[in-house]
Amino acid sequence: MVKGVSLLNRKSKTNLVDILIIAFITGVSLTCLIPFLYMIALSLSSNNAIISQKVSLWPVGFTIETYKTILSDVDMLYTLGYTIVLTILFTACCMFLTICAAYPLTKKRLMGRNFLLTAMVFTMYFSGGLIPSYILVKNLDMMNTMSSLILPGALSVFNMIILKTFFSSLPESLEEAAAIDGCNEWGILVKIVLPLSMPSIATLSLFYAVDRWNGFQDALFYITDKNLYPMQLKLYQIISANQQLDTQQGEGSMGAFIVPESLKAASVMFATVPILLVYPKLQKYFVDGVMTGAIKG
């Protein structure tokens, strides 16, 4: 995807330095893969093998019981479905607000534009903090509602500026032509600007969606009803079930497991697989998004 300059010296042969670099990069890449292999191995191993520490990168005492447990657990499937719905609603809400804010702010003639922009950018660098936001959500009666996971984060000023930059880069003549044809501003936005901005919109949607999918802090603060736990909070609950026990009693705690390690590992895989499925195909959009954000500076 990113082509290097070293294509130039292709004439020189592969030498020792090349091999060292390849070895190093391969090693680093492996550290990114090994944790997953271990999770898979753990989740497919029997509990006896895990407790007696026989498992490393290959399942010992192969069993798919753990996955059966997870996939037959109504709660877990419900959480998955709930988190998908939450992510979609959140992303839709975010994109709507982001577009509504970005488009008018591209118009230099707009009265008060600089004031509004400054007011928005200021919130990127200074915020009221965790507790005032928490009190606000409480006062708005949003505790233990899906909206507490959607509304407070429903517009990222940073993403808005990325989109605004992209809108500004579109040729003005198109909009002028549409205006002469009697299109009003909304018409121009919907018929001209948005169709031309689909790549940017896709990228930003992905940013929002990943943030929501991985989001944990707000759920920890605002959600106490287990039925409304998004995936990450549910996963945290499973993983931390007997972590305390483990760290406090050290080596002696092996017999005291409440949630078996295999189930934890399988839960980690369960929450990771959706990302692993979509990530390779969408990677390009993310990279493009980072670049656009960087050009803005």
Q: Which is nearer to other proteins, 177 or 220 (CB)?
A: 220
CA–CA gap between residue 203 and residue 294 (Å, rounded): 14
115 binds other proteins (CB under 8 A): no
Question: Within 217-276, which residues bind other proteins (CB under 8 A)?
Answer: 217, 220-221, 232-233, 235-236, 239, 243-244, 246-248, 250-251, 254, 261, 264-265, 267-268, 271-272, 275-276
Task: Please give, one letter per residue, the 3-state secondary structure of 48-111.
Answer: HHHHCCCCCCCCCCCCCHHHHHHHHCHHHHHHHHHHHHHHHHHHHHHHHHHHHHHHHHCCCCCC
- Least Å from the CB of residue 67 to other proteins: 16
Q: Which is nearer to other proteins, 76 or 235 (CB)?
A: 235
Question: Within 163-202, which residues bind other proteins (CB under 8 A)?
Answer: 184-186, 189
- Least Å from the CB of residue 268 to other proteins: 5
Could you give the string, one character per residue 52-81, with x where binding to other proteins holds by CB under 8 A and - elsewhere? -xxxxx------------------------
Q: Which is nearer to other proteins, 63 or 272 (CB)?
A: 272
Check: CB of residue 100 under 8 Å from CB of residue 189: no
Q: How is 146-195 classified by DSSP, letter by letter?
A: GGGGTSTTS--HHHHHHHHHHHHHS-HHHHHHHHHTT--HHHHIIIIIHH
- Least Å from the CB of residue 66 to other proteins: 13
Q: Which is nearer to other proteins, 1 or 74 (CB)?
A: 1
Number of residues that bind other proteins (CB under 8 A): 113
Check: CB of residue 158 under 8 Å from CB of residue 124: yes
Distances (CA, A) of 87 to 80, 193, 215: 11, 25, 10
Could you give the string, one character per residue 6-45, with x where binding to other proteins holds by CB under 8 A and - elsewhere? xxxxx---x--xx--xx-xxx-xx-xxx-x--xx--x---
Query: At residue 266, what are phi and psi to the nearest 5 degrees?
Result: -65, -35
Tokens in use for 100?
């509504």
The only residue of 114, 123, 144, 169 in contact with other proteins, by rule CB under 8 A: 123
